[in-house]
Amino acid sequence: MLEVKDIVFDPEGSRRILDGVTLQIPDGKLIVLTGPNGGGKTTLAKVIAGINVPTSGQIILDGEDITALDPTERARKGVAFAFQQPVRFKGISVRKLLSLAAGRELTDEELGKVLTDVGVVPEQYMDRQVDTKLSGGEIKRIEIASVLLRKAKVMIFDEPEAGIDLWSFNNLIRVFEIIRDRRDCSLIVISHQERILSIADEIIMIQNGKVGLSGNRSSIFPRLLCKNECDDCGTCVRTEV
Amino acid sequence: MSDIAEKKIDKDTEELLKIVSGFEGKFEGAFNIRSNGGCLGRKSSENIKIESKTDAPGLDIYIAPGTRGERVFIPACVTVAGVDDLVYNDFHVGEGADVVIVAGCGIHTETGEPARHNGIHRFLLAKGSRVLYEEKHIGTGAEDTKKMIDPVTECFLEEDSYLEMDTSQLGGVSSSVRNTKAQLGDRATLVIKERLLTDNDETAQTRFSVELNGVDSGVNLMSRSVARGNSHQAYQSVIIGNNKCHGHSECDAIISDNGKVDATPELYANSGDAELIHEAAIGKIAGEQIMKLRTLGLTQEEAEAAIVEGFLA
């Protein structure tokens, strides 16, 4: 169980980005964070991963306050984060990066499995470098694989669908469902994608740095799909800032 | 044949040979082991003859036309302080040959006196031949002892030949000046991959000068380096396109502590059909790279080490 308690994030020289966000993310549930761009979703994910230090508030993982822990310590406690814009490395191979993620040297078979799960042909990618020669979609898949290999209590995927083709996307959906069904970790996916929203257990809108509409999929999803974008039709949720 | 029986190899030399040329008690193929200016052993093969020069210290290595799949090892070691070793090695690569040459130099000294190895290599590649040249340089032993390695390399590539030079200097060498020159004929290709790590007060200078004389000749120079401590590196590449040709040079450097790196590219297009490119990037390790690895559970120090190890691999 991950608890986010009253998180405020006021970066120096900028407007307030998170304004008292409180969430409870139970194990075995797929939680989708959605909402308009600039609303604070990625910042919240980075606060959970320890990359951004909040101005106030607490992050509690399985009852332990991890707010003061740095990213390394949080990773070792079981927080895993897939970046929206993956980092590239000159000279580090896919094999090396994924072995670092797993905390041990992976066998070809283990690499093969995870690479297949994210929709790349293992033999063609294992020994390629994670550098600028990989396309946006390719590096995104490697990034997702780096999180799937962690022994995590919380997995956060920031817009995993970007740059992923339809075939791989279906695979990715299946992978998320498998993680959820294991029921041993909290799964948070930041997304605007209808297919991902459609498999969510709960949907949480983050808007203007606050939690907006939230609840189970069946209650929220139809409102997000309403195209009227008005405040008074009784169905839709207006997402414009 | 001029084989020289192997003499007893001391522990320091054996360790250096292992690092610079993968020596595991013996070499598979033709070899010559140079140590402190002398010869610790030599063996020619049917296709690769190694002869002492008569007019200068060093070797002539003759690789017969059509030789394929063979390796030749020419490592040099200095384990005695005060040695200033100078050697001229000429590699005569016959038409259509395809071989691997493993060179490299290690200096190990424990006393305060400086030691130096200056290897002057000439590569003469005949028509259609291919060579992969692997060279590692390292200095070990007392840190306050000057260890200098100053290689000079001249390459002459005839038509349709291919030379790939994979060189690395991964620490412990107080100062090095590397000077590499090449002249390429029609459709000849030169690829150079250089890896360089300096620390403390070490200095390293690299200068490449390549003349693309032949039609459709090409060069690709790739240098990756890390400068730590108070070390200083200077990279200079000169590519001269005298014909329809393509040249590319790339210098990537990571600096940390007070490390300094200069990169000076020079491109000369003397033909309207020459295509020449240079790329250089110098900077600290990107913070986002460290952060990504920290989110995988590595500490800051472990992340930096993994990035540098990969970068120089």
Q: Where are the domains of chain B?
A: 11-286
User: Where are chain A's structural domains?
Assistant: 2-225
pLDDT digits (tens, 9 = 90+) for A43-102: 999 999 999 999 999 999 999 999 999 999 999 999 999 999 999 999 899 999 999 999
- Determine the pLDDT at residue B158: 98
Contact (CB, 8 A) for A49 and A70? no
Distance CA(B66)–CA(A92), nearest Å, equals: 37
B291 touches chain A (CB under 8 A): yes
Q: Which residue stretches of A134-193 are H helix? A: 136-148, 166-182
Measured distance CA(A9)–CA(A20) in Å, rounded? 8
Which residues fall within 8 angstroms of residue B167, CB to CB, at 6 or more apart? Answer: B133, B134, B135, B136, B137, B178, B192, B193, B194, B195
Q: Is the pTM of this model over 0.90?
A: no
Q: A2-225 belongs to which CATH class?
A: alpha beta
CB-based contact B296 A101, cutoff 8 Å: yes
- B50 forms beta bridges with B61
User: Is there a contact between B293 and B264 (Cβ–Cβ < 8 Å)?
Assistant: no
**Which among B68, B62, B124, B136 has a CA at the least distance from the CA of B99?**
B68
What's the pLDDT at A221?
84
Round to whole Å and give the CA distance between A37 and B289.
24
Chain A residues within 8 angstroms (CB to CB) of chain B: 49-51, 70-72, 74-76, 79-81, 83, 86-87, 89-93, 96, 100-101, 103, 146, 150
Q: How confident is the model at residue A231 (pLDDT cuts 50, 70, 90)?
A: low
Contacts of A103 in chain B (CB under 8 A): 297
Tally Cβ neighbours within 10 Å of residue A177.
Answer: 13
Closest CA to A190 of A32, A46, A81, A29: A32
Percent of all residues in chain A with a pLDDT value above 70, rounded to a whole number: 93
Lookup: tokens for B308: 């540098």
Residue predicted with more confidence, A199 or A234? A199
Report the C-alpha gap between B58 and B38 in whole angstroms: 10
In chain B, which stretches have pLDDT less than 70?
1-2, 5-6
d(CA B229, CA B4): 43
* Closest of B92, B89, B98, B90 to residue B131, by C-alpha: B98
- Test mutation, A48, A100, A132, A156, chain B, max B CBs within 10 A: A100
* Contact call for B289 and A87, based on CB within 8 A: yes
CA distance A22 to chain B (A): 23
**Kind of pairing between the strands at B84-93 and B115-125:** parallel
